[in-house]
Structure 1
């Protein structure tokens, strides 16, 4: 029998048979003996977490005025992060569309560069009124801005008498303040329509995110909370399952264990490998994991010093090597090499993995089926010399 590699699962795993089947499938690809280490029955009771998810629209009817109020708040918050409008300035797509709508020859060169007086007055009025819009002034999509400009231009041309529709091209001025009033009303109408449309889209996205990401996120939080309170009990389970293979494994420097760990399992592995009485670890491969993030937020103790903001935290020699995988869209996957340094002066090796098209929104569990995971396990379990300054591949 070759040296066994122990695999520690992460959050939300409540089916030991399914986890064992996953490890067996991975073992067939890796070509090494992989031993599943299951602790999910000690995790959070997540049977009813869906009850804590807010309803889509908090009981409100989906009307243009009330459609998914939480989503409209989310949309407003997202748009408020964009740069606000500059008084007296208009986005180029909006300005060009207004001129084109009021003066079709504007882009044809037929007018020798002269401007339409009507277009000038419309744009001057728009520049004054644009900052008062709630949604449109925060938009930067060229198509939306262009369509808005064309709608304003059409409103102006269609409202005037047919024989005077293009009087502005001949130098005639619009009648009294009706133009300003028309633009203000039409802009307010377009702003409400834009807000309702964006609210519907964001509402659907928000609803999808809640129900696709919500259960995974809440299970993650639940297991983290349980682990913080019952760390010793979970560590004891890991020790117990390693000892079932060989009681000497991990107990001494001359009997270290290789570990593979997903998500919170990586936190468990690092905590155990750096404890005052450590689990001696020859090589650690983590994926979608949070040890660095947790240590920055709440120093883990054991043999680890807090991060001071200057130099990486030196890991004890009980953790010999560390490879860390992460996916760009996995919000629960973090890098390790900028926070930690190994005792021999090398750094953990952070390896970004490509996102698969079939992973969906919740990419945190997609690692298990990636061929890159099997390759990384094979590579990480071989003793290889690394450049002390090499942090990321």
Structure 2
């Protein structure tokens, strides 16, 4: 087949040369003749959208300060009960109590341990409410590692201070319980100091992660989401105008393309471009499409929420697509909140389901992955395979 494949972009695209460059790179990766279909000039006017976004901190401030709404949202107080928040008799998270008991039992196995770790648990429980970060998490891995560090610190000090009557000698806490002269026992001082240190380390790590999350939310996710909403609103009101632009671009290559089953068109579409493609392929006067590849797209979600009309009935079980849409491959990235599956909502005319293809997450994409598809090798491979 020598006819080109037309590429329809999604939301937030206003840079026509930039879009054409992305299509050109994708064409080299797929080995196909790809023709860009630009409609961004008909989309929402988002020049001043930042005025509607909540203010964020100044660039370069680093980790968010205490009281930052991102930290408060990520680390709300841990509930008193529920999955993963079981408490020991001392009031400690279950993961902490269990790991301290296990570690100390292993460290003093066969050494005549008489009192058990109850006093350690009691001292840790006394200091636990004073922690700022550890007391606000129910993450089992973090709590277990914290408990392991506390238990190991006790065992190490007892080993080095064995002459003072630690477990290595008398089998009691007497040596570690003895105060250094100020009335505070060594064991209590050790545990409280180490718990404060671990809490500071946890806090620093949490702030670093929250800072990156905050930056990504403010600089990428929030503007991207608002532009998505803006273009969706414009498309719902001016659907015919955008459809006319697509048909005009196709007709400029060949007026017969897409006009009937003998000359169907092939489409690749991102995001809202996938909704445009499905709407046009299933319209009362359809754009006949032999192969469609969508990525990061929402046709199924839109049809469930607001039936698209044309030849598509409202959902009452899988919706059968007309023969004017011959084949459909739908790609989605796991962290893309604007990407939806199609195979459980639609059926092709031959009874088969559209092919849903989950993609791997690229760490370099960050949290806003809706624009990451263009450079993923799996996208190019799927397009080449679907259009073969």
Distance 1:163 1:118, change over 3 A: farther
Find out whether 1:71 has 2:52 as its counterpart. no
Q: Following the alignment from structure 1 to structure 2, what is the Cα–Cα distance between the partners of residues 277 and 317? A: 12
Return 139-148 or 342-351, whichever deviates more: 139-148
Q: Does residue 231 of structure 1 match 2:239?
A: yes
Asked whether the equivalents of residues 30 and 375 of structure 1 are also in contact (C-alpha less than 8 Å), the reply is yes
2:7 partner SS: strand
Report what 1:368 is aligned to. 374
Matching residue within 257, 263, 267 for 1:255? 263
Report the equivalent of 2:208: 201
Tell me how far apart the structure 2 counterparts of residues 41 and 286 of structure 1 sit (CA, whole Å).
21
TM-score scaled to structure 2, two decimals?
0.77
Residues 259-270 of structure 1 mapped to structure 2, 5 A cutoff: 259-270=267-278
Q: How far does the alpha carbon of each residue in 1:277-325 deviate from its partner, in whole angstroms, 9 at most, with x for none?
A: 22221111111211112222332222222223xx311111211111112
What is aligned with 2:181?
none
Alpha-carbon distance, 1:41 to partner:
0.7
Say which is worse superposed, 222-231 or 123-132, in terms of deviation: 123-132
CA contact (8 A) 1:305 1:313 kept: yes
Match of 2:145 among 143, 146, 151: 143
How far did residue 144 of structure 1 move?
2.7
Q: In structure 1, how many angstroms separate the alpha carbons of the residues matched to 2:354 and 2:34?
A: 22
Change in CA separation of 1:40 and 1:25 when aligned onto 2, cut-off 3 Å: same
Partner of residue 221, structure 1:
229
Distance 1:168 1:281, change over 3 A: same
Q: 1:62 to 1:236 in 2, by over 3 A?
A: closer
Matched, 1:302 2:303: no
TM-score, with structure 1 as normaliser: 0.76
Alpha-carbon deviations, 1:202-236, whole Å to 9, x = none? 43133222223333233222222222222222112
Asked if 1:123 is matched to 2:124, the reply is no
- Could you say which residue in structure 2 is the equivalent of 1:388? none
**Residue equivalent to 1:387:** none
Q: CA deviation at 1:340?
A: 0.7
Conserved 8 A contact 2:258-2:287: yes
Task: Report the RMSD for the aligned CA atoms in angstroms.
Answer: 4.1
Task: Name the CA distance, whole Å, in 1 between partners of 2:346 and 2:272.
Answer: 17
| 1:116 to 1:253, Cα distance in 2 relative to 1, 3 A | same
Name stretches of at least 5 consecutive residues in structure 1 with no aligned partner.
Answer: 383-393
Deviations 1:230-259 (A, max 9, x none): 222211211222222233332333332111
* Residue 338 of structure 1, aligned match among 336, 344, 358: 344
- Of 162-171 and 48-57, the range deviating more from structure 2: 162-171
Distance 1:96 1:380, change over 3 A: closer
How far apart are residue 37 of structure 1 and its match? Answer: 0.8
Please report how far the alpha carbon of residue 78 of structure 1 lies from its aligned counterpart in structure 2 after TM superposition: 9.5
